[in-house]
Amino acid sequence: MSPRITDVWVYLSASPLLGLTLTLVAYQAAYWVYQRAGFNPLLNPVLLAIVMLVAALQLTGTSYATYFDGAQFVHFLLGPATVALAVPLYLQFDKLKKLALPLVVALLAGSITAIVSAVGIAWLLGASETTLLSLAPKSVTTPIAMGIAEKTGGIPALTAVLVILTGVSGAVMAKYVLDGLRIADHGVRGFAVGIAAHGIGTARAFQVSEQAGAFAGLGMGLNGLVTAILAPLLLVLWRWF
């Protein structure tokens, strides 16, 4: 390798441009594959993009910190995007108002199921306590889940990974689970996916219909609030026994 190319690489790897550009290129490549495959849920674009990027970083010996220097600009948009969920929520509000009771009961049932079954299954299979604590808030959106893990003694960065894993598996499985249960209503489908698989599930629901997306956004937002309260409480109860 000539010194010139090395110089260029040293320059690029120190600038945020590379991480940012790589993220956008990988995601669009992943999305293209997903589209080409007729939106097959198994080829989830988030999953594909992550696999491509991890492979590229490992091959070039680039650290996550270096990559994140650039990728943080994309990551930052999670905040305003969360606030933006107020818009579809407002547009669907008339529909949501009529369903207040089913929504609240389903939310509590889904939220408790997500926390208890995740911790329970991992515990039965012998996971370490740190992993259990990091798993408890896995169904809610990254910033909330990381905040909860910090408070309960999990590892926030590990929680972020588990949250993504949950979101991707939810986005992949939702269609099969809901079809299997013969649930046709887009509102119900969206809400369930939003509760169980936060923003990645919500993104998937928006690809299906605006109604599914709005309900998913609501499920995700509400479950964020409910889990922030329930997860620490349930963990205290669990330690007690």
98-137 binders of another protein (CB under 8 A): 99, 101-103, 105-107, 109-111, 113-114, 117-119, 121-123, 125-128, 131, 135
Distances from the Cα of 234 to the Cα of 46, 73, 114, 126, 230, angstroms: 30, 35, 12, 19, 6
Contacts of 198 (CB under 8 A, 6+ apart): 139, 140, 141, 142, 145, 163, 166, 167, 170, 220, 223, 224
Closest to another protein by CB, 18 or 67: 67
Instruction: Tell which positions 6-35 bind another protein, by CB under 8 A.
Output: 23-24, 26-27
- Compute the least distance from the CB of residue 171 to another protein, in Å: 8
- Compute the least distance from the CB of residue 4 to another protein, in Å: 29
CB 228 within 8 Å of CB 129 = no
Residue 53 lies near another protein (rule: CB under 8 A): yes
Closest to another protein by CB, 2 or 94: 94
Instruction: Tell which positions 71-100 bind another protein, by CB under 8 A.
Output: 71-72, 74-75, 77-91, 93, 99
Instruction: Report which of 228, 239, 218, 35 is spatially closest to residue 145, judged by C-alpha positions.
Output: 228
Put residue 183 in one of left, alpha, beta given phi > 0 → left and psi -120 to 50 → alpha: beta
Closest to another protein by CB, 33 or 177: 177
- Compute the least distance from the CB of residue 7 to another protein, in Å: 26
